[in-house]
Amino acid sequence: MTDHSPFNSKRRLALPAALLLAIAVFALCAIQARRPEPFTVSFLDVGQGDAALISAGENQVLVDAGPDSSVLSGLGAAMPFFDRTIELAVLTHPHADHYTGFLAVLRRYRIRTMILPEYAAQSPDYRRLLEAVRDDGTAVTLLDCGEKAAVGGMTLHVLRPCRGHAQSADPNEESLVLRVSGPDGGTVLLTGDLPGASGEVEAAAAPGEWQAELLKVPHHGSRTGATAAFLKLVQPTAAVISVGKRNTYGHPSPAVLERLDSLGIRIWRTDRDGTVTAVWGPGGFRVSTTVKPPQTSAARLPFQHQSDNFRSSFAKERQ
């Protein structure tokens, strides 16, 4: 008798339907997991600070995490919903606008390995971060200049600082600089808050190693960050300035914007463009932004990097 009750017939239908749905979701996840993903770099809109998510397939590298939990919305949008593991995190230097967001990241995601700077901050938040890293079982490593790390086909080359160097009292001077290359090409240079005076000397000492198609402009576009000599050594096609709206530092400096412009380097800014994402494919990379550019501005239409244009613009500059 009970078999014929409406309640049970609904259940008989509901169970296979739920099972089918579960199989469909599982299959979708499996397809998504197997689909090869291109080399992608997203400069997350975290206000006045830095956070860059670099990925290839299911492998993510997070370089800096911004000043607060605003990093989480950028990560949520950029990472697959089922992926709660960040393979590698890097802190360029211990300033709050670069590390505080890691406290929020660690509450939501597992970070497998973290590269920390040799230079440590004494603030309570930094101590809390070190405790959280230890409590989560995240492996901590220090990389020396010249060392490389490989994650999912991506290569991270640490260009500075070198272990055992005389430490500066200025944490910006201790910024770790990374050149990351994608599995099938594509290069991005991440510079933390590196002062340009140091950058141009060190880049000149290792010609070629600092060259990259896409540059994260040092120190939020500060006047002393990207010097003309530094930009000519890196030779980027495009540059991203990670900066907060109406910040009190006056970043980015008009002089830096002018320098980039005069060298024909295309500029994106997180304060105006929101999260800026570069995706590499055959022939170069394309940039998209979360804030849509005004329709009237022809200069801000979708951008495709072209190697030949890039070389000719620098060739002109050198003449």
Residues that bind Zn ion (CB under 5 A): 97, 193
Instruction: Report yes or no: 38 and 280 within 8 Å, Cβ to Cβ.
Output: yes
Q: How far is the CB of 61 from Zn ion (least distance, A)?
A: 19
Task: CB nearer to Zn ion: give 193 or 202.
Answer: 193
* Helix/strand number for the chain, H first, E second: 10, 16
Task: CB nearer to Zn ion: give 97 or 200.
Answer: 97
Task: CB nearer to Zn ion: give 51 or 79.
Answer: 51
Task: CB nearer to Zn ion: give 56 or 241.
Answer: 241
Q: What is the DSSP letter of 185?
A: B
Residue 80 vs residues 39, 87, 222: alpha-carbon distances, Å:
15, 14, 34
Q: How far is the CB of 232 from Zn ion (least distance, A)?
A: 24
- Tokens coding 174: 């201790």
Q: How far is the CB of 138 from Zn ion (least distance, A)?
A: 23
Q: How far is the CB of 116 from Zn ion (least distance, A)?
A: 16
Task: CB nearer to Zn ion: give 225 or 236.
Answer: 225
Mode of pairing for the β-strands spanning 40-43 and 238-241? unpaired
Task: CB nearer to Zn ion: give 222 or 275.
Answer: 222
Alpha helices in the chain (DSSP H): 6-34, 71-78, 96-99, 101-108, 124-135, 196-205, 228-234, 254-262, 270-273, 307-318
Task: CB nearer to Zn ion: give 45 or 97.
Answer: 97
**C-alpha 213: how far from its chain's center?**
14
Half-sphere exposure of 99 (CA within 13 A, CB side): 26
Coil vs helix vs strand at 47: coil
Q: How far is the CB of 235 from Zn ion (least distance, A)?
A: 24
Task: CB nearer to Zn ion: give 97 or 174.
Answer: 97
- Please choose, from the candidates 62, 125, 127, 53, the residue with its C-alpha nearest in 3D space to the C-alpha of residue 96: 125
Peptide bond connecting 252 to the previous residue in cis, omega within 30 degrees of 0:
yes
Q: How far is the CB of 216 from Zn ion (least distance, A)?
A: 11
Q: How far is the CB of 134 from Zn ion (least distance, A)?
A: 25
Q: How far is the CB of 275 from Zn ion (least distance, A)?
A: 17
- Please choose, from the candidates 304, 306, 289, 287, the residue with its C-alpha nearest in 3D space to the C-alpha of residue 40: 287
Mode of pairing for the β-strands spanning 154-160 and 177-181? antiparallel
Q: How far is the CB of 252 from Zn ion (least distance, A)?
A: 12
Q: Positive or negative CA dihedral for 79, 84, 89, 94? A: positive
Coil vs helix vs strand at 108: helix
Task: CB nearer to Zn ion: give 240 or 263.
Answer: 240
